[in-house]
Structure 1
Amino acid sequence: MSPPDTLVTGATGFMGRWLVAELLSAGRPVAVTVRGGPARAADLRAWLRAHDVSDQRLTAVAADVTRPGLALAPEDETRLESVRDVFNTAGVYRFGLGRDEARPVNVDGAVNVLRWAAARPRLRRLVHISGCRVGAAEPPSEHDLAGLYRRLGAYEASKREGDAAVRRAAAEQGIPLTVVNPATVIGHSATGESGQYLGLAGLVERLWSGRLPALPGSRHTYVPVVTADHLARFLAAVPEHDRGPFRAHWVLDDATPELPELVALLARHLGLRAPRVLLPAGLVRRLPRALTGAEPESLTFISEDRYDTSSADALAGAAGLAHPPVREALRRWAGRLVADLPGLGRSAPSAAGPAAWLAALLAPVRTRPVLVAHSAGAAPALRHAHAHPGRLAGLVLVSPHFLQRRPPWHLRAAVLAGPLLRTVSGPRLARALLGPGTTAGPALESAVAQLRRPGVARRTARRLDRAQRQAERAELRALTATCPVPVRVVAGEHDPLVGDALDVPVTIVHGAGHHPELSHPAQVAAAANAGVRPG
């Protein structure tokens, strides 16, 4: 294997893994720093393979960016002597951080990475990931820092402090530096896959759960976005195209709709009503959080500011890159955030039937995945496996309804009377769904919230009624027995399988009811990871 010519810090994070995938796909030998033991490196390799990216040219080394020299072992220092390009994607991104939590990575860690890069004999460029608003702000002085942390919160304040510290250290040491200031990063343009659920994603969550009665900002509020795959391609191209001691790029899609239009677009896609009331961000900041549901730190990103993207556009043009259509990317991202069967749970109704919907969902997938389906989702999954046997490696059916007894009357009644579920049937429903001794915790409360969305209870009741028809159950049992791909069934101990046993592996989750993925997620994950191998 060729020695690595690239190092990515923060490679197990949201943006880091997309960047690593892009670099490896381009044939680059890549090293990554991993904190937290071999399991984190194994998780990254598994993610890459699941995305059809070979990890043969990947080198993982144990490191800690919060310590000088990244705390690398001597043998790893030797292995990384060939590194030319360093990408720092490490960062702590979370609202509600304390200053002592944010600074070690976002400030000290950023400087530690720069100093380590400065010692590389073949260094070509250090690429530091910052943020749109961070890069557009004036560097804070030491005198201003305390006020900055109070006013903005530890996340944004630490990013601003770290940005200024990196620029200053690079100038002092003569390090070729590019600072990339991305907008809000949404999911992959083709699949919608994200993995990050803060910021704009939190707003989408409040939208579909009916907790967004008004929007903060004005009709010209602008929260630009960029897709994860475009940003990864842009980052990978930076060392090939940037020259000189310092460059800075604002990477965002100028076609992003202004916030009210963006939310209306997503609301239509999710089958919801968009909020029409706009409240100034300053007013929302003064209202109780229990009333607004808004994270106070997120309101600092609500503005009408625009950003100069000319340098990023020039680099993208030279590299042959173009933003994918942003409106379609937004729809796919939002749909992935709230994925469920169309019209049920969190998802909007679809004109396409379940078969067409599932085929479209899996169309961008380039691997042969094991498809995991729960309850009513087992029916379209089985039919998809029969229609496209070459696309799947196997099926894991969790609580397949057609292999289990008819739902108890209080479950059917609770679904039909969705708004009354919590007060009338909550405890008994919790036992039916999750198992004896289980209380109605956050998982069940989330399910209740979905049944209260317009039309969901009615559509769910209709689906339950169809699922209990004898002809439907017999057809699905036959499809399971004759499935062209291997099948594993997972069922809760208190929601047992009924009828004649099928010749497929079965995993029983002890203590679970109809929703073992909610009450016993680790056991279900282990069964899914075991795939369809007998055992």
Structure 2
Amino acid sequence: MDAIVFGATGFIGRSLTAELLSRGQRVAAAVRNDTITPWLISQGVDTGRLELVAADITRPLSGLPEVRDVYNAAGRYGFGLGVREARAANVTGALNVLEWAAALPGLRRLVHISGYRVSAPGGTPDYAGLGAYEASKREGDLAVRARARELEVPLTIANPGVVIGSGQYIGLAPLVEDLWNGRLPALPGGRDTFVPIVTVDYFARFLAEVPTSPAGEHYWVLDDTTPLLPELIRAIADHTGVRAPRRTVPAGLLRRLPRKLTGADPETLSFLSADRYPTATARAFAASAGLEMPPAIDALRTWADDLVAARFGAASPWPSSYGFRTVAGSRTWVTGERHRPDYVLLHGLPMNADLWAPLAARLPGPVLAPDLPGLGRSATAAQPMNAWLADLLSPARTRPVLVAHSLACGPALRFAADHPDRVSGLVLVSPAFLQAPVRRLARSGLAAPMMRRMSATRLARTLGIPEGAEAESAAADLRRPGVARRVAAAVRTDLAQRPHSRALLHRVSVPVQIVVGSADPLVEAVDHPVTEIAGAGHYPQLTHPSQVARRVGGFAAPVGG
């Protein structure tokens, strides 16, 4: 084998394995359980040169294949660990990998992955002051360097900054999650706090090149241009359309305050530092290898999109493009194809664009599905709804079918009536203005507090939403500041606009198709074709997505531009 990766199922290890395989190397992945193969396949990586081997680094290693390069990306990363647990992986485990590598007849390099706050000369790590995680990493770093010198093992230590990328939900992620959910009134640390980042893709490419570099180097692999922590958080806040905290709380003060009050884990506070790091050798080596870091701000924005899409690890995002975009002056969550959509999907209340995932997977063409202004993950609108929809569709070079659900049917109808040249047809799914109103949700004094406290299960039962990922996604948004209140306000607005929408339905010039469930019928007569799906309620796209897809997909051929 060309290389072996210990910790191959971890966040760094799996990306490194993918990088080595993509370079045509034969790679042994040292794992306890095979969770890496499905992930590699999902990333489009050819696993033909991959060999899985069982290994537990906390015990002496044997029976593993001979390799040229050894990567140790294994270890225990977490706060609140016990000393014994932390040392077993981060000290004993690191030495076990080194001892095994030292016996390889054709070893070219052992690459040990440490951390940017870990590598420090001399001294005994302070477990009481630092906590088990950081102290064990420091002890392991010192032990590996000393033992490698004794055994004359060709060693390179890589000290990454905070590694970010799709699937990373630790490190900075909890801070971003608190920001997103309105639970970050003040920022820990000072205004000069520096928490440097590096993307996992760049770090994997860097590691793949390391065996060709001179042995004995210690590389600090991080982006020196990472904004200071207050600026970093402000950039993410601006990108996601939420408010950034204006105040900071010094780490020294946080250490003295009760954890119940601050919510800060004491072990994380040592990372709140203004220290800088010796990156010159890593930058020189990267330049010689033709490696270039992506701009830090761009990397942070992309990562923020990934975090929000995955609900910070609680959900699986659509297998589609997604992210925050500026639409009519407001930050809007957009999923799908903006330039050549065949279908534009507008969700009802109290949902978001995730409502359409089952239907989108069954439609014959690309879709564009935003979260409506002020709802779901989108910020409030800076312009009227018609202007917002016009700007949303401004990049489109097609005339798509406009598909709307429930309370979105009124705005969709008004847009189609005003801009018949922009859409090729209109599909109204469970149009609220033609059905019995849900009056108890219109009482904002009751509805908003009630919805904020609802679990996904209770939300599903109260509104007749099928339990599942879509209900979980809606419930998560309703707990964010202001969303439940805006949902209640939208219900009241719909009640006031229903007469206008009913009158407009008779005058619209584009073809119209209406889809409803038999358990949630129309209460108003219409002149347009109506498809009633037996057994469906107010959310037929969730309960009967295949039947709705046949109606939507076969309704009208989208017109190209």
The whole-number CA distance in structure 2 between the counterparts of 1:477 and 1:494 is: 11
The whole-number CA distance in structure 1 between the counterparts of 2:255 and 2:284 is: 38
1:278 to 240, 244, 248: 248
The whole-number CA distance in structure 1 between the counterparts of 2:103 and 2:495 is: 68
Within the alignment, does 1:243 sit opposite 2:214 as a pair? yes
The whole-number CA distance in structure 2 between the counterparts of 1:460 and 1:179 is: 56
Counterpart of 1:139 in structure 2 is 122
Counterpart of 2:69 in structure 1 is 85
* Superposed displacement of residue 110, structure 1: 0.6
The whole-number CA distance in structure 2 between the counterparts of 1:266 and 1:499 is: 32
* Superposed displacement of residue 436, structure 1: 11
Within the alignment, does 1:221 sit opposite 2:222 as a pair? no
1:351 to 327, 335, 358: 327
* Superposed displacement of residue 156, structure 1: 0.6
* Superposed displacement of residue 46, structure 1: 1.5
Counterpart of 1:152 in structure 2 is 130
In 1, are the aligned partners of 2:14 and 2:36 still within 8 Å (CA)? yes
Counterpart of 2:184 in structure 1 is 212
In 2, are the aligned partners of 1:250 and 1:308 still within 8 Å (CA)? yes
Counterpart of 1:300 in structure 2 is 270
2:59 to 45, 62, 67: 67
1:199 to 171, 175, 188: 171
1:78-477 pair list within 5 angstroms = 80-81=65-66, 83-135=67-119, 137-141=120-124, 145=125, 148-187=126-165, 193=166, 195-240=167-212, 242-244=213-215, 246-339=216-309, 350-351=326-327, 357-359=334-336, 376-379=353-356, 385-388=363-366, 409-410=439-440, 417-422=447-452, 429=459, 431-432=461-462, 446-450=476-480, 452=482, 457=487
Q: Which runs of 5+ in 1 are unaligned?
A: 188-192, 364-373, 390-399, 479-491, 507-535
TM-score (norm 1): 0.70
* Superposed displacement of residue 404, structure 1: 7.4
Counterpart of 1:20 in structure 2 is 17
**C-alpha root-mean-square deviation of aligned residues, in Å?**
4.4
The whole-number CA distance in structure 2 between the counterparts of 1:332 and 1:230 is: 14
1:7 maps to a residue whose letter is: I
Note closer, same or farther for the CA distance 1:498–1:171 as it changes in structure 2 (3 Å cut). Answer: closer
2:43 maps to a residue whose letter is: H
In 2, are the aligned partners of 1:354 and 1:380 still within 8 Å (CA)? no
Note closer, same or farther for the CA distance 1:458–1:222 as it changes in structure 2 (3 Å cut). Answer: farther
The whole-number CA distance in structure 1 between the counterparts of 2:194 and 2:230 is: 9
* Superposed displacement of residue 290, structure 1: 2.6
* Superposed displacement of residue 309, structure 1: 0.6
2:274 maps to a residue whose letter is: E
Note closer, same or farther for the CA distance 1:422–1:459 as it changes in structure 2 (3 Å cut). Answer: closer
The whole-number CA distance in structure 1 between the counterparts of 2:543 and 2:150 is: 75
Within the alignment, does 1:31 sit opposite 2:28 as a pair? yes
The whole-number CA distance in structure 1 between the counterparts of 2:360 and 2:445 is: 26
Note closer, same or farther for the CA distance 1:23–1:350 as it changes in structure 2 (3 Å cut). Answer: same
Q: Deviations over 1:263-311 (max 9, x none)?
A: 1111111111211112211101222223222222111100000011111
Note closer, same or farther for the CA distance 1:213–1:453 as it changes in structure 2 (3 Å cut). Answer: farther
The whole-number CA distance in structure 1 between the counterparts of 2:121 and 2:466 is: 58
Q: Deviations over 1:401-430 (max 9, x none)?
A: 887797955556579943453579999646
Note closer, same or farther for the CA distance 1:500–1:327 as it changes in structure 2 (3 Å cut). Answer: closer
In 1, are the aligned partners of 2:164 and 2:198 still within 8 Å (CA)? yes
Q: Deviations over 1:23-63 (max 9, x none)?
A: 11111111011113xxxx2x311111111111111000111
In 1, are the aligned partners of 2:251 and 2:272 still within 8 Å (CA)? yes
The whole-number CA distance in structure 2 between the counterparts of 1:277 and 1:431 is: 41
Q: Deviations over 1:53-91 (max 9, x none)?
A: 11111000111111101xx4x4xx3xx12x000000001
Q: Compare the two structures and name the one with the higher helix fraction.
A: 1
The whole-number CA distance in structure 2 between the counterparts of 1:287 and 1:313 is: 40
Note closer, same or farther for the CA distance 1:500–1:52 as it changes in structure 2 (3 Å cut). Answer: closer
The whole-number CA distance in structure 2 between the counterparts of 1:454 and 1:500 is: 24
* Superposed displacement of residue 140, structure 1: 3.5
Q: Deviations over 1:145-199 (max 9, x none)?
A: 4xx1111111111111111111111011000000000000111xxxxx1x22222
How many residues end up aligned between the 2 structures?
437
The whole-number CA distance in structure 1 between the counterparts of 2:22 and 2:493 is: 43
Match of 2:273, SS state, is coil
The whole-number CA distance in structure 1 between the counterparts of 2:366 and 2:38 is: 24
The whole-number CA distance in structure 1 between the counterparts of 2:225 and 2:169 is: 22
2:25 maps to a residue whose letter is: R
In 1, are the aligned partners of 2:430 and 2:514 still within 8 Å (CA)? no
Match of 2:309, SS state, is coil
Match of 1:223, SS state, is coil
In 2, are the aligned partners of 1:415 and 1:457 still within 8 Å (CA)? no
2:99 maps to a residue whose letter is: R
Match of 1:22, SS state, is helix
Counterpart of 1:489 in structure 2 is none
1:115 maps to a residue whose letter is: E
Counterpart of 2:47 in structure 1 is 55
Match of 2:4, SS state, is strand
The whole-number CA distance in structure 1 between the counterparts of 2:20 and 2:445 is: 48
Counterpart of 1:481 in structure 2 is none
In 1, are the aligned partners of 2:237 and 2:243 still within 8 Å (CA)? yes
Q: Which runs of 5+ in 2 are unaligned?
A: 312-316, 341-350, 368-404, 407-427, 517-534, 550-561
Match of 1:338, SS state, is helix
Match of 1:168, SS state, is helix
Note closer, same or farther for the CA distance 1:120–1:271 as it changes in structure 2 (3 Å cut). Answer: same
